[in-house]
Structure 1
Amino acid sequence: MEFEGSSILFENFGTGLTWVLGMSFGLAFIMGAVANKTNFCTMGAVSDYINIGDTGRWRAWLFAMVVAIIGVIVLEKFNIFGVSSTGLTALDSESKPPYRNLNFRVGNYIIGGLLFGIGMTFGSGCGNKTLVRIGGGNIKSIFVLFIMGIFAYWMILGFGSSVLGNYPPFAWINNLSFAMRPGQDIGSITAAVSSAPVLGLWDWSALGSAVVVLLFVLVTGNIINRPEKILALVLALAVIAGISLWYMKLAITAIDMRLYIGGTLAFLLLIYILKSKHFTTSFDNILGGLVVGLCVVGMWYVNGSSKVNAFHAFDEETAKVSLAHYVKKNNWKDNYQVSESDRTEKTDKPFIRPDEANRHVGAQGMTFVSPSAWMWNMIIGTSTGKKSKIDGKKQPFSAFLNVPIMLLFGIIAGSFIWALLSRSFRFEWFASFKDFLSHSIGAIMMGVGGVMALGCTVGQGVTGVSTLALGSFVTLASIYMGAALSMKIQLYKMVYEEAGFGTILVTSLADMKLLPKSMKKLEAI
C-alpha cells in the first residue's frame, strides 16, 4: 500500500479489498462503541424532542450531519474523491447507495421514509441502534435484525424474483419518479442552470423539484421548527443563485456550488446547534455527533479513494483504477465467463476472484439496512453451498464478506466491547407477546421502508445528506414525520385508552400543525 496524491494505491485487488474491508470494520467498530457510550440514537432524538422538548440528542444528530457535509464538500473540492450525479465517483467507483442518481424517486423517498420512521418507533430503534443494542446484550434486537434482514433481502435481492422497483407489490412506485438531467444534488442543479445557454424543460424541472422540496421541508418545519426552515432558506437561495448566475452568464462548477451551498447550510445549522445548552453542556452529545460524522466521512474516503495497480491485468498504459473499475473490467468481464486460466495468462500476479458479494466495492457510504440483507445473503449462500458463477466451485465464507457485512459486524463488536468495559452489558427479552409483535412489525417496516428510501436515519439522514442530494432531505423529513406521528399516537393512546384511532390520529396531526387546531378532539398532553 502507498499513498499516491489523494489516493491509496495497492499492488493487487486482494490487498486493496482486505484494506477496505478492514477499515470499514474499524470505522464501524469505533462508531458502535461511541454510539453505545454516548447513547447516540436517532429515534431517541425524535422522542426526546417530541415528548419532553429536550433537543440535546436531536442536535447531536444534526451535528453529525454538519460534520459529514463539511467533510464531503472539502474532500470533493480537493479532488480526493467525489460522488457524481451519475452514481460514479471521480475515481470511477460506484456510489452505494446512489444518492445523486439522475432518477428522483420522490415516491420511494416519502413512502419509504414514512414506513421506516414508523417502523423504528415500533422496533425500539433504527438499523444502527438495533446493532448497538445487540452488542449491549439485547436479544429483542437480534429478532429485529433478522426480520428486518429478511424483508430487506427480499427487496434488494429477491427470493427468486427481480430487484426492487420491478417486484410486483411495489412496481407502481416507479411511476412516482422522474429524471433530473444534471443530478439531484443541490450543487449539480444550480451549476447546470447557471451554465445553460437557454433555460429548457430539464432546467426548469430541476429548479421546480428544488422548489417542491423547499415547500415540503417548510411543511415539516412546522413540526421540527428551525432546522427544516434553515434548509428551506438554503434551497431558496440555491434556486435564486442558479437563475441569477444564468442571467449574468456566470457559469460555475457543481463542486464549487456544493462548497458554497453546503458550507452555508452547515454554518447555519451549526449556529442553531450551538444555541442550546442541551447540546453544549453534554460531552456525550458533542462526542456522539462528532464521531458519527467523522466515521461517515472516513467511510467515503476509504471506499472512494482506494485504487489498485492493475497494469498487468489491463492492456493499457495506465491502469491504476478503483476497485469497482477493476471488478467490472477484469473479473466479471463478459458476464462472468472469463475463466481463471484465461485471466492468469494475462498477468503475473495471483488471480484473486471477488465473488458476488464483493461487488459492493467502490464509494460505499455508511448505511445500516442493506447490511442486514447481505447478512442473509451470506447465511443462505454458505448454508446451501452456493456456487461461483465463474468456475462452478462452492464459494467459501470469505466470498460473502463485503463492506455492508463488515459494517454490521463492526457496530456490534464495538458496542459489545464498550458494554463489557463499562459493565453495562445485560440481556433483555420481550416483556410480552404484544411486545414481540410490535418489534416484528417495526422490523418489517424498516426492512421494506429502508430499502425503498435508499437508506435509514444514518444512511440517508447523515451519509445521504452529506452529498446534498434532494432525495436525502425528503427522506429525512419523511422519517421524522413517520416517527413523530407514531410517537404522538402511542402517547395519546396511553392516556386516552377509550379513544378511537381516528380521533387520536386527527389530534396528533393537529398537534404537529399538519391540521388546524380547531380539529383537535382531545386535550393536549
Structure 2
Amino acid sequence: MDIDSLIESLGERTSIVLAGLLVGALFGAFAQRSRFCLRSAVVEFWNRQGRGRQAVWLFAFAAAMLATQGFVAAGWLDVSQARQLASTGSLSGALLGGLLFGIGMILARGCASRMLVLAANGNLRALLTGLIFAVTAQASLNGLLSPLRTWLAGLWTIDGGSGRDLLALSHLGQPAGVLFGLLWLAVAVHYAQRSRLSRRDGINGAGAGLCIALAWLLTYQIGTRSFDVVPVQSLSFTGPSADVLMLVLSAPGQPWDFDIGLVPGVVLGSFAAALWGRELKLEGFRDGYSMRRYIAGAVCMGFGGMLAGGCAVGAGVSGAAIFALTAWLALIGMWLGAGLADRVVDGPEKKTAGTSAPADPSLQP
C-alpha cells in the first residue's frame, strides 16, 4: 500500500500518527539492541578509553546524514521548511542549552532517548528521570521556566532560511552533505575495527540513524498530500515527551500528530527488542544520592533540550543531518558540557576506584 492509498483509507491524522508509531518502534528496537547513546560515546571520547560506543553513535550519525541527504538529492525530500532551518533560531539557546543538556546527560547517566529505551526495559531510574524530564520540558515551553528560556534564547538570534543552513552558508552545495556523511561513515568503520565492534551492533546503530532519515521522508511525503498542515520533522524527544505528558493529563479530544505516535512507538520497540533478547529487568536506585543526581540530570536535560531546540537525537542527529547551524552548535555544546561534567562529577570516583571503569554499576548506561 502506497502513501496515497494509506491516507485515503485511514485519513491524514491517523496516517501521520501511525508513521510516528512505526518509526518510533523501529528506532526503539535498533537503539535497544545497539546501546545507542550519546552520553556513552562522549564518556569514551573524553576518557580516551575504547571506541565501541563512539562507533555505534557514529554509524547512526553517518547513516542519518547519508540517507537524509540522499533523499534530498533524489528529489524525494525537501527540508527547507523544517523548523530547524525555516524559523528564527537562537544561537545563544543552542550553545547554552547544549551545554546544560550535556551536563544533564552525565548526571542522569543517559540521554533522553536512552532513558526512554531503558524505561521500557524495566529500569525504574530511567522511568523517573523520563517523567521529570517531560515535566521540566513542559514547564520550559509554557510554564514556570518559560520566561527564563525565552530570555536566554533571545540573547543571540538568527533569521531563518539560508542563514541557518550550513551547506548554504559554506557555498558547498547539497552534494557536500553526502560527502560529509561518507566521511563520518569512514570514521565509524575505523573506530569499529579498532574496538572490534560486532557487525550486528554496527548494523543496529546504522538502523537507528536510518529511522531519523525515514521520519524526515515520511512526514514530508504525507505533508505534501495532506490538506492539513503536517510539518516536515524527524525524531526528537524533548517536545514530544512534553506533548505526550499533556495528552495524558488533558481532557480527551486533543489533536494527535507524529510526535504522539513516536514516544509510545519507541517504548513498544524497545520493550519488544529487550523481550526478544531476554534483557527485561527491574532496576531501581541504590541510595538517596543516586536519586538526587538523576533528578538534577533530568531537570538539566529538560530545560537544556527545550532551550537548545532539541535533545541529543533531535538536535544532535536529526538537526545535524540537515546541516542546521543551531543543531550543530547544540551538538558541540553537548559534547563539551558532558565532557566537563564527567571530569568534575565522575572523575574523582573513577580515581578512587583505581580503574577507568566506574565502581558503581549504576554508572553504566
The reply to whether TM is greater than 0.5 is yes
Matched residue, 1:67? 63
Instruction: Check whether the contact 1:56–1:285 (CA below 8 A) recurs between aligned residues.
Output: no
After superposition, what is the alpha-carbon deviation per residue over 1:163-193, rounded to whole angstroms, capped at 9, x for unaligned? x5xx2464143022233662311222245xx
Whole-angstrom distance in 2 between the partners of 1:406 and 1:38: 22
SS at match of 1:441: helix
Whole-angstrom distance in 1 between the partners of 2:89 and 2:149: 20
Whole-angstrom distance in 1 between the partners of 2:181 and 2:149: 39
User: Deviation at 1:265?
Assistant: 1.2
Whole-angstrom distance in 1 between the partners of 2:350 and 2:117: 31
The one of 6, 11, 24 equivalent to 2:8 is 11
Whole-angstrom distance in 1 between the partners of 2:113 and 2:177: 25
Instruction: Check whether the contact 2:235–2:318 (CA below 8 A) recurs between aligned residues.
Output: yes
Classify 1:298/1:107 alpha carbon distance in 2 versus 1 (closer, same or farther; 3 Å). same
Matched residue, 2:47? 51
Instruction: Check whether the contact 1:9–1:306 (CA below 8 A) recurs between aligned residues.
Output: no
Matched residue, 2:90? 105
Whole-angstrom distance in 1 between the partners of 2:25 and 2:249: 25
User: Deviation at 1:281?
Assistant: 3.8
Whole-angstrom distance in 2 between the partners of 1:287 and 1:450: 28
Whole-angstrom distance in 1 between the partners of 2:316 and 2:92: 17
Classify 1:31/1:275 alpha carbon distance in 2 versus 1 (closer, same or farther; 3 Å). same
Matched residue, 1:317? none
Classify 1:436/1:412 alpha carbon distance in 2 versus 1 (closer, same or farther; 3 Å). same
Q: Does 1:78 align with 2:74?
A: yes
Q: Does 1:444 align with 2:299?
A: yes
User: Deviation at 1:490?
Assistant: 2.3
Q: Does 1:301 align with 2:281?
A: no
Mark the runs of 5 or more structure 1 residues left unpaired by the alignment. 89-94, 192-237, 239-256, 308-320, 329-360, 383-394, 498-525
Whole-angstrom distance in 2 between the partners of 1:15 and 1:496: 58
After superposition, what is the alpha-carbon deviation per residue over 1:368-396, rounded to whole angstroms, capped at 9, x for unaligned? 111211122112213xxxxxxxxxxxx43
Q: Does 1:116 align with 2:106?
A: no
SS at match of 2:143: coil
Farther-moved stretch of structure 1 (400-409 vs 113-122): 400-409
* Percent of aligned pairs sharing the same letter: 25
After superposition, what is the alpha-carbon deviation per residue over 1:109-141, rounded to whole angstroms, capped at 9, x for unaligned? 110000000001111211110111111101111
Amino acid at match of 2:289: K
Matched residue, 2:239? 370
The one of 126, 138, 145 equivalent to 1:153 is 138
Classify 1:478/1:172 alpha carbon distance in 2 versus 1 (closer, same or farther; 3 Å). closer
Instruction: Check whether the contact 1:419–1:425 (CA below 8 A) recurs between aligned residues.
Output: yes
Matched residue, 2:167? 187
Amino acid at match of 2:115: T
Classify 1:175/1:496 alpha carbon distance in 2 versus 1 (closer, same or farther; 3 Å). same
Matched residue, 2:276? 421
Matched residue, 2:31? 35
Whole-angstrom distance in 2 between the partners of 1:288 and 1:487: 27
Bigger-Rg structure (1/2): 1
Q: Does 1:484 align with 2:336?
A: no
Matched residue, 1:177? 157
After superposition, what is the alpha-carbon deviation per residue over 1:260-316, rounded to whole angstroms, capped at 9, x for unaligned? x21221222222222232456422431232101110111111111115xxxxxxxxx
Classify 1:448/1:302 alpha carbon distance in 2 versus 1 (closer, same or farther; 3 Å). same
Whole-angstrom distance in 1 between the partners of 2:45 and 2:88: 33
Classify 1:75/1:44 alpha carbon distance in 2 versus 1 (closer, same or farther; 3 Å). same
Q: How does 1:307-386 map to 2 (within 5 A)?
A: 307=223, 321-323=224-226, 326-327=227-228, 361-382=230-251
Whole-angstrom distance in 2 between the partners of 1:373 and 1:262: 32
After superposition, what is the alpha-carbon deviation per residue over 1:206-232, rounded to whole angstroms, capped at 9, x for unaligned? xxxxxxxxxxxxxxxxxxxxxxxxxxx
Instruction: Check whether the contact 2:153–2:307 (CA below 8 A) recurs between aligned residues.
Output: no
The one of 129, 133, 138 equivalent to 2:114 is 129
Amino acid at match of 1:157: N
SS at match of 1:304: helix
Instruction: Check whether the contact 2:27–2:207 (CA below 8 A) recurs between aligned residues.
Output: yes
SS at match of 2:54: helix
Q: Does 1:275 align with 2:275?
A: no
Classify 1:481/1:422 alpha carbon distance in 2 versus 1 (closer, same or farther; 3 Å). same
User: Deviation at 1:493?
Assistant: 2.5
Amino acid at match of 1:275: H
Farther-moved stretch of structure 1 (182-191 vs 60-69): 182-191
Structure with more of its chain in helix, by fraction: 2
Identify which of structures 1 and 2 has the higher relative contact order when contacts are C-alpha pairs closer than 8 Å and 6+ apart. 2
User: Deviation at 1:438?
Assistant: 0.5
C-alpha RMSD of the superposition: 2.3
Instruction: Check whether the contact 2:66–2:177 (CA below 8 A) recurs between aligned residues.
Output: yes
Q: How does 1:142-291 map to 2 (within 5 A)?
A: 142-158=127-143, 167-168=147-148, 170-179=150-159, 182-191=162-171, 238=172, 257-259=173-175, 261-276=176-191, 277-278=193-194, 281-291=197-207
Q: How many pairs were matched up? A: 351
Amino acid at match of 2:235: M
Whole-angstrom distance in 1 between the partners of 2:274 and 2:323: 35
After superposition, what is the alpha-carbon deviation per residue over 1:198-254, rounded to whole angstroms, capped at 9, x for unaligned? xxxxxxxxxxxxxxxxxxxxxxxxxxxxxxxxxxxxxxxx4xxxxxxxxxxxxxxxx
SS at match of 1:457: coil
Instruction: Check whether the contact 1:372–1:408 (CA below 8 A) recurs between aligned residues.
Output: yes
Instruction: Check whether the contact 1:47–1:484 (CA below 8 A) recurs between aligned residues.
Output: yes
Give the TM-score of the pair, scaled to structure 2: 0.88
Instruction: Check whether the contact 1:184–1:469 (CA below 8 A) recurs between aligned residues.
Output: yes
Shift >4 Å, 4+ stretches: 1-4
User: Deviation at 1:104?
Assistant: 4.0
